[in-house]
Amino acid sequence: MTTRGRSVVPSAAESHPPLRVALLGCGVVGTQVARLLTEQADDLASRVGARLELVGIAVRDAAAPRDAAIDRSLLTEDAEGLVARADVVVEVMGGTEPARALLLRAIEAGAAVVTANKALLAEDGPTLYKAADAAGVDIYFEAAVAGAIPIVRPVRESLAGDHVRRVLGIVNGTTNYVLDQMATTGMGLEEAVKEAQDLGYAEADPTADVEGYDAAAKAAILASLAFHTRVSLDDVAREGIMSVTAADVAWAAQTGHVIKLLAIAELRDGTSAGGSAGVSVRVHPALVPTSHPLANVRGSFNAVFVEAESAGELMFYGRGAGGAPTASAVLGDVVSAARHRVLGGKGPQESTYAELAILPASAAVTRYQVRLDVDDRPGVLAQVAHALAEHGVSIEAVRQPTAPGGADAEGGVAELLITTHAAPESALAATVAAVAGLDPVRTITSVLRVEGA
Ligand SMILES: NC(=O)c1ccc[n+]([C@@H]2O[C@H](COP(=O)([O-])OP(=O)(O)OC[C@H]3O[C@@H](n4cnc5c(N)ncnc54)[C@H](O)[C@@H]3O)[C@@H](O)[C@H]2O)c1
Ligand SMILES: N[C@@H](CCO)C(=O)O
Ligand code: NA
């Protein structure tokens, strides 16, 4: 046998009967999974020790037009029937139902399952993990977080001997593209979202991306793995990018930052400024210093920065979306699950032993940059500074620079940019309300968190 011109000696395990693979869904990702299973059949057989036989592809409409790479004789509208005759079930249909029911049926029938469905895992992963544990089968989901980038396996397996302290990720390609375009061209948010849609990055309905739901689902999955604690979508404090303005982006550049939508999961020991012990998981736009590796993640790329006690800082970078990149992650999982079928062994189970408290959004501790328009007269700065001090929020720097957008100094209005030291979100919220109520304060233009400093 040859593979890509090299001769391959069949291993003893290749006498193993073929493993039957069922594919649920044949969209962007499913089409590429089917193509790779076919095109790379010989390599996969050598790596697994058994041939992977695609026995069917469940679709909604078997008569609909398909990519030429799809063998139409494999298409079926009977997903349940297909699941019943597979050793490995790959779910790339998305949505909660029937994906959940089909995966449970597969697990109960003793099949290993591979899914890219972050929405389902973030909402109800534990039901699937428990079922897989009870049935003694593998459940793999590398493609569910940051597409092609190996991040689930590193956190779940490679770092299993370490203590993860913090995960900081750009895990949504659409919003990273939008923010990057705003930074490089000066365009407004709506125009950049429209461009992302035209280029096919954003969905026709980009809500899950721009409102941060997609990133929040990934944050929940990563936090669960990193901290051995169940974290669901509802536990994630979420803010999307819709309120980020061109002026925010311009100001960020002036102060040596870029704005990124970050997914943050961090362990708090409760000893620092106003903090409580537990896990804080949140998604929001943040100012990232241009010197931080995440600041250089451009376009629709993703990256995840992990800080672990012994390993130190790690960064994972690559394509977080797209048919072929995501299918690469799916295939890696299929090979892992299939190897266990051939050689024995089992992938990791859900690990929730730590049972850490999930902290409310108000307990998050971070630095802030607050921009405000004030009356340009003596004593105003002192009044503002006093309001911050009264709420225990310490000022790191105050600037009154030339505004990129052009503050109306002639009309007696000055723009102030205040950067704080780390403070709990609750203290900052109270402070902002107090500052907004001061007589000389005209408007609080923006409040942005500063991360990665
Ligand atoms: N596209 C990406 O870049 C990407 C990246 C990472 C993860 N994912 C995840 O992968 C999954 C699939 O994403 P996609 O981009 O391929 O979506 P898609 O919409 O292109 O494909 C999903 C396909 O599943 C089919 N489908 C839905 N319900 C079905 C049912 N009941 N029976 C049969 N077929 C059904 C749809 O008709 C569609 O063709 C989602 O969970 C998504 O979150 C996608
Ligand atoms: N909509 C997602 C696709 C991958 O989950 C993104 O923009 O990153
Ligand atoms: Na991944």
- Residue 277: predicted pLDDT: 87
- Domain total for the chain? 3
Assigned domain for 354 exists: no
Q: Determine the Cα–Cα distance for residues 42 and 19; give it in Å rounded to an integer.
A: 13
- Residue 40: predicted pLDDT: 98
Q: Determine the Cα–Cα distance for residues 143 and 302; give it in Å rounded to an integer.
A: 13
Residue 449 Cα to ligand 1 midpoint, Å, equals 34
Same domain, 337 and 371: no
Assigned domain for 96 exists: yes
Same domain, 370 and 421: yes
Residue 92 Cα to ligand 1 midpoint, Å, equals 5
Assigned domain for 348 exists: no
Can you give the C-alpha Rg of the chain in angstroms?
25
- Residue 7: predicted pLDDT: 45
- Residue 410: predicted pLDDT: 54
As a whole number, mean pLDDT of residues 248-277 equals 87
pLDDT in tens, 357-388: 999 988 889 999 999 999 999 999 999 999 99
**Which region holds residue 312: left if phi is over 0, alpha if psi is between -120 and 50, else beta?**
left
Report which protein residue has its CA nearest ligand 2's atom 3. Answer: 321
Residue 11 clears pLDDT 70, i.e. is over it: no
**Residue 40 CB coordination number (10 Å):** 16
Last residue within a domain, chosen from 309, 343, 377: 343
To test the pocket of ligand 2, the residue of 180, 214, 297, 319 to mutate (highest count of ligand atoms within 8 Å of its CB) is: 214
- Residue 1: predicted pLDDT: 45
Pocket of ligand 1 (CB under 6 A): 25-30, 58-60, 79, 92-94, 98, 116-118, 143, 147, 321-322, 326
To test the pocket of ligand 2, the residue of 142, 179, 201 to mutate (highest count of ligand atoms within 8 Å of its CB) is: 201
Same domain, 162 and 264: yes
Residue 329 clears pLDDT 60, i.e. is over it: yes
| 40-54, 157-171, 396-410: the lowest-pLDDT one | 396-410
Q: Label the pairing between strands 312-319 and 301-308.
A: antiparallel
Same domain, 75 and 189: no
The answer to the question of whether 26 is labelled as a binding residue is: yes
Same domain, 278 and 427: no
Residue 18 Cα to ligand 2 midpoint, Å, equals 33
Q: Which residues contact 330 (CB under 8 A, 6 or more apart)?
A: 29, 33, 90, 92, 114, 116, 142, 143
- Residue 203: predicted pLDDT: 74
Same domain, 163 and 211: yes
Same domain, 168 and 99: no
Same domain, 219 and 276: yes
The answer to the question of whether 410 is labelled as a binding residue is: no
Same domain, 197 and 135: no
Q: How far apart are the first and last CA of the chain?
A: 54
Assigned domain for 393 exists: yes
- The amino acid occupying position 112 is A
- Residue 340: predicted pLDDT: 98
Question: Which H or E run includes 106?
Answer: helix 99-108
Same domain, 89 and 46: yes
Assigned domain for 82 exists: yes
Identify the domain containing residue 111 by its residue range.
2-147+324-343
Return the structure tokens found at 201: 């990055």
- CATH number, domain of 26, equals 3.40.50.720
- CATH number, domain of 220, equals 3.30.360.10
Assigned domain for 167 exists: yes
Same domain, 380 and 393: yes
Complex ipTM above 0.90?
yes
- Residue 403: predicted pLDDT: 54
Q: Under a CB-based contact definition with an 8 Å cutoff, are residues 332 and 48 in contact? A: no
The answer to the question of whether 118 is labelled as a binding residue is: yes
Same domain, 131 and 247: no
Report which protein residue has its CA nearest ligand 1's atom 18. Answer: 27
Q: What is the pTM of this model?
A: 0.94
Last residue within a domain, chosen from 280, 312, 343: 343
Assigned domain for 249 exists: yes
Handedness of CA 182, 185, 188, 193 (dihedral sign): negative
Assigned domain for 231 exists: yes
Active site residues: 218
- Residue 363: predicted pLDDT: 87
- Residue 421: predicted pLDDT: 96
Residue 10 clears pLDDT 80, i.e. is over it: no
Residue 317 clears pLDDT 50, i.e. is over it: yes
As a whole number, mean pLDDT of residues 203-232 equals 95
